[in-house]
Every structure is written in C-alpha cells, then in structure tokens.
Amino acid sequence: MTERTLAIIKPDAVERHLAGKIIQRIEDEGFQIRAMRRIHLSAAQAEGFYAVHRARPFFTSLTQFMSSGPAIVLVLEAADAIKKWRTLMGATDPAKADAGTMRKEFAQSIERNATHGSDAPETAAYEIGYFFAGIDLI
C-alpha cells in the first residue's frame, strides 16, 4: 500500500553538509519526494512539534537542538513508506543502528542523529500537516 511519511534532515546533518547525500539515499531507495522545505524552527515551533514528548527528560534538549539551525522537512511516498523509512534510518541510538542505515552512517549521538521519521500513519498525518498544507503536496 502506498503511503506517505514525514522525514526530517535534522540541524546536525544540515550543518555538516549531509543533506545531499541523505536525499540521494532517499531517492535511491525508491521514495518519491512529494514536498520538501528548508526551515529554521523557532523554539515554540519545535516545542509544538515534539509536544508528545513534553514530560520526557530529553524534551528541553531536543527542542533546543531542533531549533538550533536549519533543517529540511520532506514528505516521502512509497509502498509501506513509514516502515521503509524507519528501517532505512536505523535505531535512534547510532551505536545500536544496523550497518548501512542513515543513523549508523551519519549520526553523531542519540540526540544528534541526523534524521527523523514518523512512527505510525496517525503520526505521519499530523506531522505532515504541521509543516505542509495539502496544496504543497505534489
């Protein structure tokens, strides 16, 4: 089943000029990029996006990091896109990520882990809507 997911190339990867390599891998893996935008989240926008994690101890450092510099948000489309993208990203902790995954290759730490991806269809719908109006999706 074709579905869409949100992907983020996080500020650490953008800062290290890895966006092109990550986008190339996305396309090489058969994803269609339906929307893409370079953004710089404000603290309030990062807090809104990650509100589900507000009670977690890492919330403040995560939102500070995500608002620390430019990021690239993308809508990816493929068969089983959510699972496929999460598999390609690898484990949140790059030390535990499988060889060949984005995070094994590009992440610096559990927080500076280069990429984000939606974890379920409901999350994907919310996250895509957070950054893109329907008219932006082609």
- Give the integer Cα–Cα distance in Å for 13 and 17: 6
For the chain, how are helix, strand and coil distributed in percent, rounded to 5? 45, 20, 35
- Give the integer Cα–Cα distance in Å for 26 and 22: 6
* Catalytic hit among 17, 40, 53, 116: 116
115-117/2-9 β-pairing: antiparallel
Coil, strand, or helix at residue 116? Answer: strand
The full DSSP string for 74-112 is EEEEEETHHHHHHHHH--SSGGGSPTTSHHHHH--SSSS
CB contact at 8 A, 64 and 77: no
**Active-site residue flag, 116:** yes
Please identify every residue annotated as catalytic: 116
